[in-house]
Structure 1
């Protein structure tokens, strides 16, 4: 049996740091459930961000995965080094900032990304993985977020959570909330609940410039209380595109579907 994570943390004198967005999960059964969300990982490469003391890392290694883990907090490296010694051919730990790592070079095409993301960089990393050439270098994303962020990722038009992040996650991928995680599962407990989101790539709609879609949703949701005719009028051709597609310019951003934003972006591309 592996050493209890609480003992690993105590032995290495670790303490979650708020400035790094850290919250550790100690329940090995819960970690195993998270590691199982992508499906079979036996022989697959997994890219993990923010492994901390290595609880999820071990759960991933126990599936038979080969793990590339990036950790910014150097205090956690000795605990991770113990796992490297235990799984010498299956774990490689990189000391560094995930926002500055060339993930594709380190993990390779087809890797699965699985992470209890530091909350202070979670959204930035997600957007980074959702942008760029398509299909992406990763096969799936299994990521822990604050519950509110998770709801924004999967939100449908008309809901209070629907916004730019919803469109970015849904226009060429399929997200779902795979698991709710109670705040008591973490040390220290965060103030709000969390959830694990699972995302798989989908087909990319043809004829759409991702940068145009990004600018369109930024304009629309940047002034979400205003009608579209006011919020997107600064984009050349946007009002004509609304008319051509039969989208009422008096609607507000949160009522426009992902498919309609894609159609608008295609006209503007």
Structure 2
């Protein structure tokens, strides 16, 4: 059981929550600002307060915890995060949303730090600090590159304690996919090698404004220790080769990877199998053998 936060901190959190509750409803803020979701920025706004609160509860935040948020837009998720007493560092590229977020920052009494910038370009570790959580309704067009960047940081585990992220459901399915399924691929192996992953909830398209063409899902990732003798860059090379020709047998897809066929033989992996049948542990084992072989030195 976690210790209860000091009474002063709890009362401060309550005061912030009350000030946020007194702000105009999100729909009114959006209408007054003339803010419309920009497809070029991959925007779809989630405004359902009950859904937002449910997502934030799944993180298990305590007052004073730091959260790094990407693409807050009009600040729906940001409001829910701030109501827990968390310190939020939000990076927003769209200047049109800044006035709404600045009013939210004022109401938060310093609990919200607003950065006008591109999440693909900022140094998240510097901004959020070690031990922060990540929470975001990720813009559809940069969600996968951002996650891949967070998962391939070295040394590992990285600066973040957990990541609670909204993706298109198709991407969420790829992250948690099991071997032998059509969704299983490079992202599945990387994510499951680096973190415990699970889909927390499914969000229907109608929950967003405007509704996208597909449903979304909230994925939670918690970093786990990774073997020091398996460089993640090498693991990515192995999966790139294997899944680059996923319809072919491994003896064909890995023949262009130096030492690949020898690694299969050393591990006793049938070379007539296809990439989608290998478990995460088998891919890691392949990378380990290659790393210890002269071909990788």
For this structure pair, what is the TM-score category when the shorter chain's length is used for normalisation? over 0.9
Q: Secondary structure at the match of 2:179?
A: coil
Q: Rg bigger for which structure?
A: 2
Q: Secondary structure at the match of 2:120?
A: helix
Give runs of aligned pairs for residues 1-269 of structure 1, distance below 5 A.
Answer: 1=21, 2-133=23-154, 134-269=156-291
Contact between 1:172 and 1:205, CA under 8 Å: does it hold in 2?
no
Q: Give the drift of 1:35.
A: 1.2
Q: Give the drift of 1:172.
A: 2.2
How many residue pairs were aligned?
269
Unaligned runs of 5+ in 1: none
Q: Secondary structure at the match of 1:46?
A: strand
Q: Give the drift of 1:42.
A: 1.8
Q: Secondary structure at the match of 2:270?
A: coil
CA distance in 2, matches of 1:197, 1:57: 17
CA distance in 1, matches of 2:267, 2:47: 52
Q: Secondary structure at the match of 1:226?
A: coil
CA distance in 2, matches of 1:194, 1:208: 33
Q: Give the drift of 1:234.
A: 1.0
Contact between 1:155 and 1:166, CA under 8 Å: does it hold in 2?
yes
CA distances 1:198-225 after superposition (whole Å, capped 9, x unpaired): 0001111231011110000000001000
TM-score by length of 2: 0.89
CA distances 1:29-83 after superposition (whole Å, capped 9, x unpaired): 1111111111123210000000000110010000110000000000000000001
Contact between 1:41 and 1:63, CA under 8 Å: does it hold in 2?
yes
CA distance in 1, matches of 2:137, 2:194: 23
CA distances 1:105-125 after superposition (whole Å, capped 9, x unpaired): 000000000000000000000
Q: Secondary structure at the match of 1:262?
A: helix
CA distance in 2, matches of 1:160, 1:41: 38
CA distance in 2, matches of 1:58, 1:240: 54
RMSD: 0.8
Q: Which moved more, 1:192-201 or 1:29-38?
A: 29-38
CA distances 1:178-233 after superposition (whole Å, capped 9, x unpaired): 01101100000000100000000111123101111000000000100010011111
Give runs of ≥4 in structure 1 deviating > 4 Å.
Answer: none
